[in-house]
Amino acid sequence: MAKAKKQPRPKAVTPKGFRDYFGEEVTQRSHMLGQIADVYHHYGFDALESSAVETVDALGKFLPDVDRPNEGVFAWQEADENEGGDWMALRYDLTAPLARVYAQHRNDLPSPYRRYAMGPVWRNEKPGPGRYRQFYQCDADTVGTASMAADAEICMMLSDTLQRVGIPRGDYLVRVNNRKVLNGVLEAMGLAEDDPKRDDVLRTIDKFDKVGEAGVRQLLTKGRLDASGAFIDGVGLADSQADPVIAFLTSKAADVAGTIANLHNAVGDSKVGVEGIDELEQIGALLAAGGYGDDQVLIDPSIVRGLGYYTGPVFEAELTFEILDEKGHKRQFGSVSGGGRYDGLVKRFTGQEVPAVGVSIGVDRLLAALREKGRLAATPVGPVVVTVMDRARMADYQAMVAELRKAGIRAEVYLGNPKNFGNQLKYADKRNSPIAVIEGGEEKERGVVQIKDLILGAKIAESATLEEWKERPSQLEVARGDLVAKVHEILKSQEG
């Protein structure tokens, strides 16, 4: 009889494009999300936790063909004995699920509906440095009103959020533009709504921050040589047709009034363009009334990212402080949030246009920014560790932990092999524990416990002289009944 082939062990590797998050990172993220949620809640938004899985039809955006409707998302087909089951997919953002939720429950929801959502999203894209297939987003949206007050409020809330989490005024800027103004520019260029060159123009405008004014003009007309020397074909517009685009992209002036005047020149007589400018003026007036200055939220037509998706105002929060890139060159940190008005998204379900506006914060990007600014605690404090000197007295040690926990102190009993006491202290060190509690048989008889201040002990070991050690002992003996009070006292001293 042939010997059964031994199955190879699975490799303990993280799937490509994914990563694991450990205690410190999870704690920091949870703390920051709590701060953001406080701001959103303060503004009157309610939490929504929608399903992580949607039908591909509901997601809508990524549906390239009938046979494989999963480009850009992680999708699978449900098993069905009689016929092909529904295609399901992990959500790729938090906005598409909101559109489905609103369409499904609109009769039971207030109008307008204000919600915020936080959680992981998944994209089946090529991973790269700092780019993962699973990442966190934090969204806030208002559905059911066309008032520019909703757009202005989102900008105010985004400004408040950045300051709340630790990005001070002067280190960020929320920039505001409007898709309708761009539509007016396209009209001024003589491009009809069904003209295929409109998409080419949008793609070219999206490269403004990379190739600049001259590069955009070349790409709109005859083409240009890129950095590698390769020639990139242009859209084929006349120079006169490119003029409104350049006027639009370079219309930012020293003040809002100047910018608005330049935008009027860019859109000419276009009705939709003038409507978009009026909306920007409304937002600017509301921001000023709320006390938000141009150093916090600014009307800026150079913001073009996402203009192809949104139907009206569009926002981008940019962090303006400098960091060093992987080559040691200084550069600005860049964008951590984007959003805008998307009045057509719910229409896919209802057949009726429902106005909506929202913003999404890239949680991992914002956390990275806070680390750059030194606004995140280096290491979270671990639990108080009650060591085990006598395995037969585990009940005594559990009683100590119970007392500490009831007093609001994070604590645990050492559950490893208690034979080597040094290993228990090494464990406490690895857990970043502030205190170790010790009670051997002799301490038990005398009704006392030893309390070891591990934070102070580490500092003394690093730099203190022997005399300082004597003046500030890191291990104290207290009565068993004073355990909780003394632990509280030491923890409070460590905070200072």
37 within a domain of the structure (yes/no): yes
Whether pLDDT at 495 is above 90? no
Looking at residue 212, its pLDDT comes to: 86
Looking at residue 23, its pLDDT comes to: 86
Average pLDDT, the chain: 88
The residue-averaged pLDDT of 6-22 equals 91
155 within a domain of the structure (yes/no): no
Q: Could you count the other beta carbons within 10 Å of the beta carbon of residue 233?
A: 10
Bridge-based pairing of strands 330-341 and 113-122 is: unpaired
Looking at residue 82, its pLDDT comes to: 64
DSSP E strands: which ranges in 325-465?
330-341, 356-362, 384-386, 411-413, 435-438, 448-453
126 within a domain of the structure (yes/no): yes
Residues 319 and 227 placed together within one structural domain of the fold: yes
Residues 418 and 394 placed together within one structural domain of the fold: yes
Residues 487 and 433 placed together within one structural domain of the fold: yes
| 69-86 pLDDT tens trace | 557 889 888 877 666 688
| 94-144 pLDDT tens trace | 999 999 999 999 999 999 999 999 999 999 888 887 789 999 999 999 999
Residues 22 and 64 placed together within one structural domain of the fold: yes
* CA distance linking residue 220 with residue 223, whole number of Å: 7
Looking at residue 317, its pLDDT comes to: 95
Please list, in sequence order, all residues whose beta carbon lies within 8 angstroms of the beta carbon of residue 263, skipping any fewer than 6 positions away: 181, 248, 251, 273, 277, 280, 301
Confidence of residue 64 (pLDDT cuts 50, 70, 90): very low
| 374-388 pLDDT tens trace | 888 666 789 999 999
Confidence of residue 471 (pLDDT cuts 50, 70, 90): low
Looking at residue 239, its pLDDT comes to: 85
* CA distance linking residue 303 with residue 292, whole number of Å: 19
182 within a domain of the structure (yes/no): yes
Residues 270 and 137 placed together within one structural domain of the fold: no
Residue type present at position 275: E
Looking at residue 20, its pLDDT comes to: 93
- Tokens (6 digits) for 191: 């491009």
Residues 42 and 172 placed together within one structural domain of the fold: no
Distance in Å from the first CA to the final CA of the chain: 73
Which residue bears the tokens 């204000």?
A: 114
Bridge-based pairing of strands 134-143 and 113-122 is: antiparallel
Residues 260 and 400 placed together within one structural domain of the fold: no
Which residue bears the tokens 């500030």?
A: 472
Look at residue 87 and give its three-state secondary structure.
strand
Residues 42 and 25 placed together within one structural domain of the fold: yes
Residues 74 and 104 placed together within one structural domain of the fold: yes
Domain with 272 in it: 165-324
266 within a domain of the structure (yes/no): yes
Residues 371 and 396 placed together within one structural domain of the fold: no
485 within a domain of the structure (yes/no): yes
Confidence of residue 325 (pLDDT cuts 50, 70, 90): low
Looking at residue 136, its pLDDT comes to: 94
Domain count, the chain: 3
The residue-averaged pLDDT of 466-481 equals 75
Please list, in sequence order, all residues whose beta carbon lies within 8 angstroms of the beta carbon of residue 470, skipping any fewer than 6 positions away: none
151 within a domain of the structure (yes/no): no
Residues 264 and 179 placed together within one structural domain of the fold: yes
Residues 372 and 409 placed together within one structural domain of the fold: no
| 394-423 pLDDT tens trace | 999 999 999 999 999 999 999 999 989 999
289 within a domain of the structure (yes/no): yes
